[in-house]
């Protein structure tokens, strides 16, 4: 664990955090009090671990969810030590929230804990969260910021998850996390296999994975899927094509600007922004005339991205 085995001195423990935890032990569910658990030191974490186990399950679930939600809304909040305690919680829902809340932690310590947890974890919900969390490490591998041994550990764990008889949701997350490994025939074959699956969710995951993998192998496939009858398929394929940054997709994206599905429309606008180029910029300027505030806002954000991508020295206001 992250805290010392020696009991902390009373003077070193944060009284506010301990008071809040004591209230949670008594069954209170007060979201306003949760920020008091941010940035606790090691000594407070040691005391907090003992109190955490005394908190009723429904309250632990509430607090864990709040830590995740509040940290996403306010980047100044840091619940990493509390979430690290929750990672060992006996309740699967709490463990899942803890994993989701530690998304910014890219340490080797967390990687080791996640891989170790994967060996003993039986709850599909938690295994799905682990598979998704490992994407941070496969992305580090892509950036060559992970040592070779850890790269192989992450790759092997994700491949094993995908190739297993796990629930589809777990396999889908594993495949999406695997996609960051480029020029890897075993990974590409896994994506191809999932794309041909009878399971809709696995096929959707494969299309998402194509966008992360950005192999030329997938470009034509995605152009075809952008015209699928299923709005979810069109949405994922459109988002994925934007990751390629390839202007060959712009003409088809322009044809899809008025798609009947709102989410697909927004994906089209986002993809045009990601790709950039003169034609994409011109299209986004025309979309800005829309009286639909949601479409207008999306076009403005995309136009800013597209303008910078087209001319990095110019920022279009």
- The string of pLDDT tens digits covering residues 111-142 is 999 999 999 999 999 999 999 999 999 999 99
Show the tokens assigned to 28.
């209170």
Average pLDDT over residues 14-27: 95
pLDDT in tens, 55-109: 999 999 999 999 999 999 999 999 999 999 999 999 999 999 999 999 999 999 9
CB 226 within 8 A of CB 237: yes
Task: List, in order, residues 6 or more apart from 197 with CB less than 8 Å away.
Answer: 203, 206
Q: Dump the DSSP string for 118-176.
A: HHH---HHHHHHHHHHTHHHHHHHHTT-S-HHHHHHHHHHHHHHHHSS--HHHHHHHHH
The H or E element containing residue 281 is helix 278-287
Rounded to whole angstroms, how far apart are CA atoms 38 and 316?
A: 38
Domain 218-317, what architecture? Alpha Horseshoe (1.25)
Helix 42-52 × helix 15-25 angle, to 10°: 10
> What's the CATH code, domain 106-213?
1.25.10
pTM for this predicted structure: 0.89
CATH 1.25.10.10 in the chain is located at 218-317
Rounded to whole angstroms, how far apart are CA atoms 241 and 61?
A: 38
Asked whether residue 151 carries a pLDDT value surpassing 90, the answer given is: yes
């Amino acid at each position: 664990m992250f805290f010392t085995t020696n009991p902390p001195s009373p003077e070193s423990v944060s009284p506010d955090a301990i008071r809040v935890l004591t209230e949670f032990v008594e069954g209170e569910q007060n979201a306003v009090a949760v920020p008091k658990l941010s940035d606790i030191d090691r000594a407070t974490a040691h005391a907090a671990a003992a109190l955490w186990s005394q908190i009723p399950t429904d309250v632990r679930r509430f607090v864990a969810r709040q830590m995740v939600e509040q940290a996403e809304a306010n980047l100044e909040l840091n619940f990493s030590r509390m979430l690290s305690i929750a990672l060992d919680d006996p309740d699967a829902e709490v463990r899942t929230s803890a994993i989701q809340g530690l998304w910014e932690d890219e340490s080797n310590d967390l990687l080791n804990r996640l891989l170790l947890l994967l060996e003993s974890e039986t709850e599909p919900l938690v295994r799905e969260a682990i598979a998704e969390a490992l994407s941070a490490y496969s992305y580090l591998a892509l950036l060559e910021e992970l040592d070779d041994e850890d790269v192989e550990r992450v790759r092997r764990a994700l491949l094993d998850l995908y190739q297993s008889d796990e629930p589809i949701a777990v396999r889908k997350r594993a495949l999406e996390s695997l996609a960051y490994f480029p020029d890897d025939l075993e990974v590409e074959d896994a994506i191809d296999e999932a794309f041909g699956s009878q399971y809709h969710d696995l096929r959707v995951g494969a299309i998402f994975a194509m966008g992360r993998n950005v192999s030329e192998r997938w470009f034509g496939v995605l152009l075809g899927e952008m015209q699928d009858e299923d709005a979810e398929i069109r949405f994922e394929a459109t988002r994925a094509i934007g990751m390629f940054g390839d202007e060959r997709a712009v003409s088809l994206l322009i044809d899809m600007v008025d798609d009947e599905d709102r989410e697909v429309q927004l994906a089209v606008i986002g993809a045009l922004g990601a790709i950039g180029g003169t034609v994409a910029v011109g299209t986004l300027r025309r979309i800005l005339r829309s009286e639909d505030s949601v479409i207008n806002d999306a076009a403005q954000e995309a136009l800013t991205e597209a303008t910078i991508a087209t001319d990095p020295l110019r920022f279009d206001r």
